[in-house]
Amino acid sequence: MQNYINMILKTEKQKEYELLDSGNGEKLERYGPYVLRRPDPEALWQKSKDPEFWNKAELQFIRSGIKTNLPRRQAGWIIKDGIPKNWDISYGGLEFSIRPTSFKHTGLFPEQLPNWEWMEKIITNYKLLINNEEKKPKVLNLFAYTGGATLACAKAGAEVCHVDGSKTAVEWARVNAKLSGLENAPVRWIVDDVIVFLKREIKRGRKYDAIIMDPPSFGHGPKDELWKIEEHFLELMKSCKEILSDNPLFILINGYTAGYSAIVYENNLKDMMKDHKGEIETGELAIEETGSDRLLPCGIFARWMSGTK
């Protein structure tokens, strides 16, 4: 038996991160001391701030084909003199190395903060319920990237398996763990193709109490294994169901793939968790602009939580 809730998870201004403005296909954000200007196709409205305000950005990502001092068809960052290539910020009680990448990301997805807080609360309540500091819930984080969810769960007292196909991303996540004082936390850092890894875990008989996943539309594993969401997502969900423990705590699916609805993930969770009592929440992730009630949509999510918290 499942209960269903549809919602918007909103991230508001934080001490070292805020959305300053958005519109005309761009967003303007502050990461610590620096302001970044990046394309965002979701920002299909007029900007609130004037051009002079936007031009104060220390870093600006230019799309391919834009006329700049860069080659006409080459996308990349224009960075003002004296600005470092990477810097650290505090966010959500954790520390992150911010590194603007060639594909316009920064290594941090601020809109995930409400999900981190949700997972931390579930893990904390579980540990209070069992009253056993030695027993840690086992969490599997798939397509784990730079480790925000991994570190949030580890901080709350979970044992985490962090899996990503990119060696660079896993190394970056380990840097974030060290910055956050979690270098000795019980985290297994795995560079592997997610489907290959899951098949191996099933053979080993390993079980997990919670699963987090952020499946991309397209990607490659470390041995050039191909991932296409339309071809491999159902296999992913089937394998995840096989490695769930008998009394799971939560499942979280994040979505950034254009064209998909949170209902797609909700339907999969309904099927996956039909034999477990719990609650399914679905909806959108969004960031609120500073000084405004305007929200920038940033993705979708679906999550299941056990009915016996």
How far is residue 293's CA from residue 280's CA, in Å, rounded to a whole number? Answer: 27
pLDDT above 50 (res 120): yes
Q: What is the residue-averaged pLDDT of the chain? A: 92
pLDDT above 80 (res 223): no
* Percent of the chain residues topping a pLDDT of 90: 82
Domains and CATH numbers, the chain: 2-9+109-306 (3.40.50.150), 11-98 (2.60.40.1180)
Pairing of strands 278-288, 250-255: unpaired
Q: Residue 309 — very low, low, confident or very high, per pLDDT cuts 50/70/90?
A: very low
Short-list 308, 289, 299, 282, CA closest to 23: 289
Q: Residue 106 has what pLDDT?
A: 97
Q: Which tens digit of pLDDT belongs to each residue from 21-63?
A: 999 999 999 999 999 999 999 999 999 999 999 999 999 999 8
Give yes or no for a contact between 153 and 139, defined as CB atoms under 8 angstroms apart. Answer: yes
- For the segment 136-160, the average pLDDT, to the nearest whole number, is 97
Q: Residue 4 has what pLDDT?
A: 63
Short-list 166, 176, 162, 174, CA closest to 212: 162
How far is residue 19's CA from residue 179's CA, in Å, rounded to a whole number? Answer: 24
Residues in Cβ contact with 67 at an 8 Å cutoff, skipping those fewer than 6 apart: none
Give yes or no for a contact between 228 and 218, defined as CB atoms under 8 angstroms apart. Answer: yes
